[in-house]
Amino acid sequence: MSSRWTAGNRARLLENGEEFFPAVFESIRAAKHEVILETFILLEDKVGRELQAALLQAAHNGAQIDVMVDGFGSSDLTPEFIRTLTAAGVRVRSFDPSSRFIGLRVNLLRRMHRKIVVVDGNRAFIGGINYSADHLADFGPLAKQDYAVELEGPVVAEIRHFGLTAIRDARVDARPDQTTPARSGDVEALLITRDNADHPNDIERHYRAAIRSARKRVLIANAYFFPGYLLLREMRRAARRGVDVRLILQGEPDMPIVKTAAALLYEHLQGAGVKIHEYCQRPLHGKVAVVDDDWSTVGSSNLDPLSLSLNLEANVVLRDRAFAAHLRTRLEHLIAHECQLVEAPARPRWHWWSQLRTAVVFHFLRRFPGWASQLPPHAPTLQSHPLPASASATGIRHER
């Protein structure tokens, strides 16, 4: 998909499941024509069941519904859960599913990690929040801190087209493009995606360009931080020319190796003046950034090898001073109240093992994208869950 900026959009930041789920579910329940939904994780907990109920209501309204879940992230969905949806005419697809080996999920690489919703062609949601109860504060200490954005305006047509293209191989019919939504605000928006064919580094490239052009500040909150060598170099160069570069990373990670890996990079970044804050309230799952006064991004892409070199990802980049200011305010609130500043060492540690470790890490970071491209060719499959005969007929009757 070719990227292009569209003007005239409205954007609303949604923080955590408390803001995201009500907005998405209300929009889906009110759908009259169409719902397109892609997600990495869908669980059969209270959030998953509420999503199911919203989709059933949309189907009852006459909307045509396409749902795509990842075969790794959503591998625990039961046949009963899926049959309830397909019986109502919902088209459910699994991205690259596979059987478990001795009870373990083995299809780890090249996952469909996007989180996208488009409703009636005029409203879209994109971000990092999955459909599971661990995105709600009442889940407890392991509840995730995360972000998404609600969009209206011409960019929704771009997101809708992308969503339909992603499921095209498994669709049983064609759907005409809808009229581009009217202008809804003053936000310029750009959908950027990553895949393993035509757009292998688009998201990283936009990050690097934004940091390279920064003159005042760079503020990045990212859950899984182990970026490529070129992106690290841009952060260091920005800090050295006087830009206030701050990172919010996991201090209480859901997987301990996440903090261990990121910590290998701390001294290298701190030596150039980058400030590192660890979010210690609960696991951080966000993938957002703000650069200077008007550039920001929200999406599914972590800054790690899986997201930047293997997984299918989607972010939206926004140019708008008000949205950037609001996102920056929310991130600075985390820094002030829920983060710890990681102090740079008074003097560099010149132990031989530290130098060896640094050399190995940066060799890996510099070479990993090339190594990833050499992995055995793999054409992921979309598995369609069959519709009952009566539901199939209903789906055709509801064509738009």
Give the model confidence (pLDDT) of 276-295 as tens digits.
Answer: 999 999 999 999 999 999 99
Three-state SS string across 245-268, please? EEEEEECCCCCHHHHHHHHCCHHH
Residues 151-204: pLDDT tens digits?
Answer: 999 999 999 999 999 886 544 455 666 678 889 899 999 999 999 889 999 999
**Predicted local distance difference test score (pLDDT) of residue 381:** 74
Question: Which of helix, strand or coil describes residue 369?
Answer: helix
Structure pTM? 0.91
Domain with CATH 3.30.870.10 in the chain: 6-192+377-397, 202-373
Positive or negative torsion for Cα 194, 199, 203, 204:
positive
pLDDT of residue 357: 67
* Angstrom distance (rounded) from CA 239 to CA 221: 16
Q: At 364, give phi and psi (nearest 5°).
A: -60, -50
Instruction: Of 89-93, 134-138, 357-361, give the lowest mean pLDDT range.
Output: 357-361
Q: How far is CA 212 from CA 14, 110, 205, in A?
A: 28, 29, 10
Query: How many Å apart are CA 296 and CA 11, to the nearest integer?
Result: 11
Helix (H, G, I), strand (E, B) or coil at 384: strand
Token pair in block for residue 199: 């757009």
Q: What is d(CA 178, CA 180) in angstroms, rounded to the nearest whole number? A: 6
Give the span between the Cα atoms of 96 and 241, in whole angstroms. Answer: 45
pLDDT band at 383, cuts 50/70/90?
confident
Architecture per CATH, domain 6-192+377-397, reads as: 2-Layer Sandwich (3.30)
Confirm or reject CATH 3.40.50.2000 for domain 202-373, answering yes or no. Answer: no
DSSP 281-330: SS-B--EEEEETTTEEEEES--BSHHHHHTSBEEEEEEE-HHHHHHHHHH
- In whole numbers, what is the pLDDT of the chain averaged over residues? 89
Burial class (CB in 10 A: 0-12, 13-18, 19+), 163: buried
Rounded to whole angstroms, the Cα distance separating 371 from 304 reads 14
Residue 79 predicted with pLDDT over 70:
yes
Catalytic residues: 113, 115, 120, 285, 287, 292
